[in-house]
A and B are shown apart, each in its own frame.
Chain A
Amino acid sequence: MDVLINLSYLLASAMFIIALKRLQSPRTARSGNALGAVGMLLGIIVTLLHRDVVRYEWILLGIVLGSLIGAVMALWVRMTAMPQMVALLNGFGGAASALVAIAEMERLALHHGIAAAPGVLVGTILSSVVIGAVTFTGSVIAFGKLQELISGRPLILPFHHGWNALQAAAIVVLSVLIVLQQQTWSESLLLQLFGVVTAISALLGILLVLPIGGADMPVVISFLNSLSGLAAASTGFVLHNYLLIIAGTLVGASGFILTNIMCVAMNRSLLNVLFGGFGAEVASGVATDRVVRSTTAEDAAVILGYARSVVIVPGYGMAVAQAQHAVKKLATLLQQRGVDVKFAIHPVAGRMPGHMNVLLAEADVPYDLLYEMERINPEFEHTDVALVVGANDVVNPAARKDPTSPLYGMPILDVDRARTVIVLKRSMNPGFAGVENELFYQPNTYMLFGDARQSLEAISEALKSV
């Protein structure tokens, strides 16, 4: 039986790798995801045949409960709320790993005593509970920020980074002490210290994410994604289960790569994102008493209707206004007039990697009309109109021109090089980075203020009579 179980785990590992490989193309991705689900089902079923599993009623309860909650969340969540959803899922993954680690520690105490356990095992259990707890509470805070239950602005306590460093040090010192003194200290003291390590880890997760602003969420979610994978892998180290190690590590690598891509797209290091408290300081740079040129939906419709080429640049504002369908409608109207319409997607537009792509896919925009930054930037010079829908920092030319700007060096979409720029924006408030945007004051820029969806619908309406 053990051989059968382990062979099935091997098969499931292979299925997970193939599943991720099939995500390399939108054509094969859906079947890849299904293959991953089959691999998971296989893993679950053969585990139920394990000789240690002797009763099923509690298992059934957990499976039914979890499946119901998961299915309800997955089927009812709005596409614009996907960042929150992923944050929450990361959190549940972390929580599961932490719970398993706590249970394994409890089992050591229950059976042969912690003193009899190998130090390596106690050490892996400790690292598993630390990663799991940080992932759990960090994800819950990220969820709260994205759902706007807590302020999206960076919240920084006095000596914030000092506290974090102190907690991290306490976790390391206590963990080392537990492993070193596991044979000399009493069982109850060891368990209490284990509880303290767990509690500090949970607090650390909260304090790590609290000071991070909304615009940095793509990095944070990717990082927590990576941690949730590593949490599963560390559980694998505890249980000597290679399927857990392989699956967890794949996810850890995936989250790590995404974190890296997001950091590069913001020209910042992970440490700077985690400890920078970006956007907490009030806007620097240029004075704000200059005037912008505002326009009406009718005028915007004329400019767009007579253009040969239009590049639409969506940002988080499109998600907030639920404007993806209105964007698609306008794009279709323009295409019917013979206008060449493309979409330009900045890697950190929105609140998570690929956020804009999912929203536009929901609105039925074909994915081959979506262009990545490197591919679209050379085209802006030959573009008649760049239509910016609720994007701000990712189109701020200060990133290219102004060495004093906090955004300086960040790769941006060069919309300022288009012949005309139309910006749909709710108000003149600065973006999440709290930085003034030069683009709005350019002579070729027209601002159309208001809710992005209403503005787009008004333009579409006006376009019919152009």
Chain B
Amino acid sequence: MTELLFALFIFTLAAFVGFEVITKVPPTLHTPLMSGSNAISGITIIGSLLITGRVESPLLTVLGVAAVTCAMINVVGGFLVTDRMLRMFRPQQREGRDGRAH
């Protein structure tokens, strides 16, 4: 029970940090925010690794491998696609091709 309480403390504090940090993300980055945070939610990989790494039963191995695969798709796919998007974001070049002023 104390462990659950402690976990709830962490959960609550993390929620506040999350709100504080994420509200300041500009709308232009909302898609990369989603895919990037999505990759972070692939952290379930840790639970999947612990199950797959033990020798307990064939069923657990199957569940574990499936979980590792899903989590890894989430992690690798998420971080890579976010990077692909963020590479494309660039500001206006001040002395750009057309030398236009605002």
Contacts and interface: CB of A to CB of B under 8 A. Distances in A.
Contact of A251 (B37, B73, B83, B91): B37
Contacts of A23: 25, 29, 32-33, 36
Interface string B31-65: 11111111111111111111111111101110111
- Chain B interface, >50% SS class: helix
Contact of A232 (B43, B54, B63): B43
Contacts of A19: 36, 40
A37 B40 CA distance: 8
Contact of A249 (B3, B18, B45, B76): B18
Given A36-B40, A232-B41, A65 B72 contact: yes
B13 to A, nearest CB: 8
Contacts of B57: 106, 110
Contacts of B31: 82, 86, 352-355, 357-358
B92 A366 contact: yes
B22 to A, nearest CB: 5
A20 B21 contact: yes
A33 B91 contact: no
A40 interface: yes
A53 B49 contact: yes
A246 B16 CA distance: 11
Nearest to A15: B40
Interface residues of A, number: 118
A366 B54 contact: no
A70 B50 CA distance: 21
B7 to A, nearest CB: 5
Interface string A338-364: 101000010100001111011001101
Interface in A12-56: 16-17, 19-21, 23-27, 29-30, 32-34, 36-37, 40, 43-44, 47-48, 50, 52-56
Contact of B72 (A66, A124, A258): A66
Contacts of B40: 16, 19-20, 36, 40, 229, 247, 250-251
Contacts of A213: none
Interface stretch (A88-96, A197-205, A394-402, A443-451): A88-96
Counting chain B CB atoms within 10 Å of each CB, which of A29, A104, A332, A368 scores highest? A29
Contact of B50 (A222, A229, A239): A239
A93 B82 contact: no
Contacts of A367: 28, 89-91
A25 B85 CA distance: 14
A71 B68 contact: no
Contact of A253 (B22, B47, B73, B102): B22
B27 A372 contact: yes
Contacts of B65: 58, 61-62
B34 A221 contact: yes
Contacts of A241: 46-47
A47 to B, nearest CB: 5
A255 interface: yes
Contacts of B50: 47, 50, 52-53, 239
A358 to B, nearest CB: 5
A66 B38 contact: no
B74 A96 contact: yes
A369 interface: yes
Given A40-B39, A43-B45, A228-B41, A369 B92 contact: yes
5 contacts: A26-B89, A106-B60, A229-B37, A255-B34, A354-B28
Given A24-B25, A75-B80, A249-B11, 15 more contacts: A20-B40, A50-B49, A59-B53, A65-B72, A70-B76, A96-B67, A100-B48, A103-B63, A222-B34, A225-B37, A253-B19, A255-B37, A353-B33, A361-B90, A367-B90
Interface of A: 16-17, 19-21, 23-27, 29-30, 32-34, 36-37, 40, 43-44, 47-48, 50, 52-56, 58-59, 61-63, 65-67, 69-71, 73-75, 77, 79, 82, 85-86, 89-90, 92-93, 95-97, 99-100, 102-104, 106-107, 110, 120, 124, 221-222, 225, 228-229, 231-233, 235-255, 257-258, 261, 332, 335-336, 338, 340, 345, 347, 352-355, 357-358, 361-362, 364, 366-370, 372
